[in-house]
């Protein structure tokens, strides 16, 4: 493994951007690409003062910096990337730490790790984010709601959505628990809700229109043990680089015992099946409903996907996923490739246009989130 400061880091960053992509095995089988993945490891941890938990929960994030604005932003240097990927951890007892990280690449033999560390808005609009005909689908019926992939969607007590990505871990948007300056109210006692629908006739529920319909949503709640938020979100802001790092990982106090969806590195939009993405969330205009949608990706930057999936506040934090062919296992597999963040006004040739935005899971973000989950970089070599 070799160090990657300066120009070498930029070269590696660009290599990750395009990926070491394997060709499709067949035109009708969009295949998960193979990437050369970095390693993100903690270097030092400092204790911080307890936060005041005074921020109001924001169920959406808006930014006026669109695709061209982001594409014109220089790629981060090695030192900047380390700063953005350093992270803050909040524990259930209110204590807080900050962890600095190092960035590594594996040697060809894969048997060691080395590194070189030189130091060691916009327009106002209504809340609706609906484009033309509302193309969202409310998911009814126990056979759907409690089955994969819909069963991976969970509700945060702060009002957002999250996705199960491991036995005890939930991926969501950073702004659901932190406003960039401090933690939102209720984060110290943060809970995650698992859907358990009730039916009017007490039956199991069926899939046809005459089946028993849910009388009300019932959630089984599990307390959160700790949260991780990247410093790129905390030190940034939604109109600059902050939106690129609008993601957070929650660790539950106990396993949830449901099937989860693995995270994966986001392929280029042109390699997505049909150029589409999918996600489900708890939109606040449909209380008591889990809402599913899919749509085409309209544009992309290295860190963001721009799309016009219909969405409302409350859907923030939803895991954006696709289903592609896994060559090694010879099977189809869904993976989370991004996190639904919020809304952006974009100046398109002098004419304002609005998009909904998802944060892409890049190779560096994958390495970071995977390490948060696994605690061992050797388990994070396949994105």
Contacts of 205 (CB under 8 A, 6+ apart): 140, 141, 142, 143, 197, 199, 211, 212, 213, 214
> Would you state the pLDDT for residue 312?
83
- With bands split at pLDDT 50, 70 and 90, how would you rate the model's confidence at 222? very high
Joined together, the tokens standing for residue 68 give: 């061209």
Question: Are 223 and 92 within 8 A, CB to CB?
Answer: yes
Q: What is the pLDDT of residues 107-141, one digit of tens each?
A: 654 444 444 343 333 333 344 454 455 555 565 66
Task: Give yes or no: 354 in active site.
Answer: no
How far apart CA 299 and CA 320 sit, in angstroms, is: 15
User: Helix (H) and strand (E) counts for the chain?
Assistant: 6, 19
Q: What percentage of residues in the chain have a pLDDT greater than 70?
A: 72
Q: Lowest-confidence range among 45-49, 143-147, 158-162, 326-330?
A: 143-147
3-state secondary structure of 369: helix
- Most confident residue range from 42-46, 74-78, 287-291: 42-46
3-state secondary structure 50-110: CCCCCECCCCCCEECCCHHHHHCCCCCCHHHHHHHHCEEEEECCCCEEEEEEEEEECCCCC
153 pLDDT higher than 70: yes
Task: Give yes or no: 178 in active site.
Answer: no
- Report the CATH fold assignment for 31-103+136-198+214-374: Thrombin, subunit H (2.40.10)
How far apart CA 238 and CA 245 sit, in angstroms, is: 9
Ranges of each domain in the chain? 31-103+136-198+214-374
Per DSSP, which regions of the chain are E strands? 38-48, 62-63, 87-91, 96-105, 137-139, 153-156, 161-164, 169-172, 191-195, 198-199, 214-216, 219-230, 248-252, 276-281, 290-300, 304-307, 319-326, 331-348, 351-360
Q: Within 13 Å and on the Cβ side, how many CA atoms surround 55?
A: 18
- DSSP assignment, residue 269? G
Average pLDDT, the chain: 80
Q: What is the pLDDT of residues 176-208, one digit of tens each?
A: 999 989 999 999 999 999 987 565 554 444 333
Q: Which of 64, 95, 240, 347 is catalytic?
A: 240
Overall pTM > 0.85: no
Joined together, the tokens standing for residue 197 give: 């629908």
Q: What is the pLDDT of residues 238-264, one digit of tens each?
A: 445 668 999 999 999 999 989 999 999
Is the backbone peptide bond immediately before 149 cis, with ω within 30 degrees of 0? yes
> Which run of H or E residues covers position 144?
helix 142-145
> Would you state the pLDDT for residue 16?
52
Q: Which of 70, 169, 175, 178 is catalytic?
A: 175
- With bands split at pLDDT 50, 70 and 90, how would you rate the model's confidence at 308? confident
> Would you state the pLDDT for residue 68?
78
- 219 pairs with which residues across the strands? 195
> Would you state the pLDDT for residue 15?
47
How far apart CA 6 and CA 104 sit, in angstroms, is: 13
Task: Give yes or no: 316 in active site.
Answer: yes
> Would you state the pLDDT for residue 263?
98
Q: Lowest-confidence range among 36-40, 193-197, 243-247, 270-274?
A: 193-197
Question: Are 208 and 221 within 8 A, CB to CB?
Answer: no
Q: If you search the block for the tokens 């296992």, which residue do you land on?
A: 329
* Sign of the CA dihedral running 344, 16, 266, 80: negative
104 pLDDT higher than 70: yes
Q: Which of 62, 280, 316, 341 is catalytic?
A: 316
* Sign of the CA dihedral running 13, 73, 129, 195: positive
């Amino acid at each position: 493994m070799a160090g990657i400061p300066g120009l070498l880091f930029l070269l590696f960053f660009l290599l990750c951007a395009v990926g070491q992509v394997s060709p499709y095995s067949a035109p009708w089988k969009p295949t998960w690409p193979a990437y050369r993945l970095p390693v993100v490891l903690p270097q030092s941890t400092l204790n911080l003062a307890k936060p005041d938990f005074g921020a109001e929960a924001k169920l959406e994030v808006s930014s006026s910096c669109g695709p061209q604005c982001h594409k014109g932003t220089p790629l981060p240097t090695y030192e900047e990337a380390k700063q953005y990927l350093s992270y803050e951890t909040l524990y259930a007892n209110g204590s807080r730490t900050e962890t600095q990280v190092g960035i590594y690449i594996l040697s060809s033999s894969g048997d060691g790790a080395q590194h070189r560390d030189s130091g060691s808005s916009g327009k106002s609009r209504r809340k609706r984010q609906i484009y033309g005909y509302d193309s969202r689908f409310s998911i009814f019926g126990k056979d759907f709601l409690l089955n994969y992939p819909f069963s991976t969607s969970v509700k945060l007590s702060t009002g957002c959505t999250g996705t199960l990505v491991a036995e005890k871990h939930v991926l969501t948007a950073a702004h659901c628990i932190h406003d960039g300056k401090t933690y939102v109210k209720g984060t110290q006692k943060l809970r995650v809700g698992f859907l358990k629908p009730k039916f009017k006739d007490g039956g199991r529920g069926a899939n046809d229109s005459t089946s028993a319909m849910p009388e009300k949503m019932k959630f089984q709640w599990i307390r959160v043990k700790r949260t991780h938020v990247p410093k790129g979100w905390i030190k940034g802001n939604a109109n600059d680089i902050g939106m690129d790092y609008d993601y957070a990982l929650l660790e539950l106090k106990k396993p949830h015992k449901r099937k989860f969806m693995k995270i994966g590195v986001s392929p280029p939009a042109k390699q997505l099946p049909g150029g589409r993405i999918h996600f489900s969330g708890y939109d606040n205009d449909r209380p008591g409903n889990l809402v599913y949608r899919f749509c085409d990706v309209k544009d992309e930057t290295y860190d963001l996907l721009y799309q016009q999936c219909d969405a409302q506040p409350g859907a923030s934090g939803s895991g954006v996923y696709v289903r592609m062919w896994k060559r090694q296992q010879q099977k189809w597999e869904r993976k989370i490739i991004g996190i639904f963040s919020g809304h952006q006004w974009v100046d398109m040739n002098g004419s304002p246009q609005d998009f909904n935005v998802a944060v892409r899971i890049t190779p560096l973000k994958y390495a970071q989130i995977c390490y948060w989950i696994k605690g061992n970089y050797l388990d994070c070599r396949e994105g």
